[in-house]
Amino acid sequence: AQSVTQLDSQVPVFEEAPVELRCNYSSSVSVYLFWYVQYPNQGLQLLLKYLSGSTLVKGINGFEAEFNKSQTSFHLRKPSVHISDTAEYFCAVSRGTSYGKLTFGQGTILTVHP
Amino acid sequence: EAQVTQNPRYLITVTGKKLTVTCSQNMNHEYMSWYRQDPGLGLRQIYYSMNVEVTDKGDVPEGYKVSRKEKRNFPLILESPSPNQTSLYFCASGGQAYGYTFGSGTRLTVV
């Protein structure tokens, strides 16, 4: 079985500051890893994904994440956040196959203050 | 435009009154899935479908039914809704390489 833990339920940050949203996973098999963003009253939008290859993955809106197999982590980072980045962020994991259940973390609410 | 369409967006119903939430995708994906989202719990899978006439339970299937008679449609059926099914529901389609595409969500309230 696979599981995901997002270590912070809420992260407040000031505009233009850097941010890191932490995600740890557990799985006995190879995995694919994802970060999704949910803006208020909207569905989930894919930010980035790690399938294989380079452990540093770049996504949309200036976000990036680094896959660390030894620490079973997939932390999301942005060097300078904007007010518009205020949203809930979900880390998700699935087995490394063509189709598979996405298992989500509990979510991290990022609030960017002016 | 590639999309997953859910209807309705909002629904208030009474305990025990059967309802169906529809989900349709235009990307010819074989894999579709239903999730519910509850505060502090993230998204949990209810049911999924690998293809037409192939469905299976996710983590929280109790109280729900699904059907997959056509590739593009994957309705979620609550035959006797209860207040603990009040939640935000998402339909998704796709596969690992694409990243899953999610619908806009259906906010269901059962009173």
What's the average pLDDT block by block, 10 residues per block, for chain A (114 residues)? 90 98 88 92 90 91 94 96 97 76 90 96
Check CB contact under 8 Å for A43 and B104.
Answer: yes
Alpha carbon distance B94, A44 (integer Å): 13
Check CB contact under 8 Å for B42 and A9.
Answer: no
Residue B73 DSSP class:
B
Q: Which pLDDT value is given to residue B73?
A: 97
| Contacts of residue A67, Cβ cutoff 8 Å, sequence gap at least 6 | A33, A50, A55, A56, A57, A73, A74
Give the pLDDT band (50/70/90) at residue B97: low
pLDDT over 90 at B92, yes or no: yes
Check CB contact under 8 Å for A106 and B92.
Answer: no
List the single residue in A with minimal CA-CA distance to B40.
A106
The values of phi and psi at residue B10, to 5°, are -135, 140
Q: Which pLDDT value is given to residue B7?
A: 97
Q: Using a pLDDT cut of 70, give the percent of chain B over it.
A: 97
pLDDT over 80 at B98, yes or no: no
Half-sphere exposure of A60 (CA within 13 A, CB side): 8
Half-sphere exposure of B34 (CA within 13 A, CB side): 31
Alpha carbon distance B18, B10 (integer Å): 15
Residue A34: closest CA among B72, B92, B58: B92
Q: What is the mean pLDDT of chain B?
A: 93
Q: What average pLDDT score do residues B54-79 get? A: 96
| Partners of residue B49 in chain A, C-beta under 8 Å | none
